Amino acid sequence: MSAARTSAYVIGPEDLNPRWILLYAVTWLLQCSSAAARYFVLYAIIWVPDKIEYLALPVKDLALVIATAPLWISLATLVFPWGGRLWEQQEGARTPSEREQAVFDFAFAELTEKDPLPLRSPHRWCVLDEPEPNGCVYAITLMLTRGLLDSPFGSAVLGHEMEHLNSGDGRLLAALYRILCWPRNPSRPALVPLALACNGQAAMLPVKAAWSMYFRTREMNADNYVKRLGLGPTFAAYLETYALEGDRPTRFKMFGDSSHPWTEHRIENLLAA
């Protein structure tokens, strides 16, 4: 199986959904307030040495470009197929071996035989050397654990992740991550309010619950895709084995505190007629 061309993941009409478009537009506008806060901070930082050293820098233009950069990077991530190589390196993943590629090709072929609609192969996929079977998607990159490749649940989990990849969920997630900027986890109490205002996290608070609930529906959508392929019982067994114990009492989960539905509800849906 050859990797999908990068152009195959340029956003198209089939990727558009009024719900996420409206939610992203609201998020983008809210983040303009963070960009404004960054602008004033950056303006002050650049202006002081410029006046002391007589550098004659375009202070306003520099501050504006740097302050608004996360907004445009996020929008470009949403529209264009920007991979996930940096994410792959941050997670410590690696390129697959020939044997792992053969296992992946076999599982992907099984999915394409079951699915009557065209399924885009991943532009890039990588392996994380973890024993527990799992998978995830970020931007247009698919990551599978070493344990999944040797697992009887491999095809079912791969189907779930491929639905996230093909529907643009990974690209949307990357766009939301990239709209935030450094420092993401400020440690000095005196600087925390300023950091949260500048890095975009404060502006995310009004839409945080809405995004959680949206991605929860996307998890159910990916589950339903696996169910349509006839792999629902297999994926339910995987969740019961590896995900059920991870559920803990979570306050206000139904109000968006988590981006994943309760595992038991997912299992019930997968096993329903």
Q: Which domain holds residue 185?
A: 6-84+181-206
In this predicted structure, the answer to whether residue 136 has a pLDDT above a threshold of 80 is yes
Tally of domains within the chain: 1
pLDDT in tens, 153-198: 999 999 999 999 999 999 999 999 999 988 777 777 667 888 888 9
Please give the residue that has the higher pLDDT: either 78 or 273. Answer: 78
pLDDT in tens, 12-38: 888 888 999 999 999 999 999 999 999
Q: Averaged over 234-261, what is the pLDDT?
A: 86
**In which band, very low, low, confident or very high, does the pLDDT at 256 lie, cut at 50, 70 and 90?**
confident
- Residue 43 lies inside a defined structural domain of this protein: yes
**In which band, very low, low, confident or very high, does the pLDDT at 73 lie, cut at 50, 70 and 90?**
very high
The candidate with the shortest Cα–Cα distance to 35, out of 23, 27, 186, 205, is 27
What angle is formed at CA 267 by the lines to CA 139 and CA 222, rounded to 5 degrees? 25
pLDDT score, position 46 = 86
- Residue 263 lies inside a defined structural domain of this protein: no
Angstrom CA distances, 19 to 47, 148, 225, stand at 42, 33, 19
What is the rounded average pLDDT for all residues in the chain?
Answer: 90
Cis peptide before 183 (omega within 30 of 0): yes
User: 246 burial class (0-12, 13-18, 19+ CB within 10 angstroms)?
Assistant: exposed
pLDDT score, position 2 = 61
Burial profile 155-180: b = 16 or more Cβ within 10 angstroms, e = fewer: bbbbbbbbbbbbbbbbbbbbbbebbb
pLDDT score, position 233 = 97
The candidate with the shortest Cα–Cα distance to 27, out of 168, 142, 176, is 176
d(CA 168, CA 261): 19
pLDDT score, position 183 = 77
The candidate with the shortest Cα–Cα distance to 135, out of 259, 250, 248, 242, is 242
- Residue 249 lies inside a defined structural domain of this protein: no
Residue 42 tokens read as 């950056």
- Residue 55 lies inside a defined structural domain of this protein: yes
In this predicted structure, the answer to whether residue 83 has a pLDDT above a threshold of 80 is no
Angstrom CA distances, 164 to 63, 99, 191, 223, 242, stand at 36, 25, 37, 10, 20
- Residue 188 lies inside a defined structural domain of this protein: yes
Query: In degrees rounded to 5, what are phi and psi of residue 5?
Result: -65, 150
- Residue 15 lies inside a defined structural domain of this protein: yes
Please give the residue that has the higher pLDDT: either 49 or 109. Answer: 109
pLDDT score, position 50 = 63
pLDDT score, position 55 = 66
pLDDT score, position 53 = 67
Provide the 3-class DSSP secondary structure of residue 121.
coil
Which residue, chain included where needed, has tokens 């994380």? 128
pLDDT score, position 57 = 72
pLDDT score, position 105 = 94
Q: Averaged over 132-146, what is the pLDDT?
A: 95
- Residue 109 lies inside a defined structural domain of this protein: no
Amino acid at position 160, single letter: H
d(CA 127, CA 262): 27
> Which spans in the chain are helix H?
18-53, 59-79, 85-91, 98-114, 146-149, 154-166, 169-178, 192-199, 201-228, 232-242, 263-271
pTM of the model: 0.90
In this predicted structure, the answer to whether residue 271 has a pLDDT above a threshold of 80 is yes
pLDDT in tens, 184-235: 777 776 678 888 889 999 999 999 999 999 999 999 999 999 999 999 999 9
pLDDT score, position 49 = 73
pLDDT score, position 69 = 96
Provide the 3-class DSSP secondary structure of residue 178.
helix
- Residue 30 lies inside a defined structural domain of this protein: yes
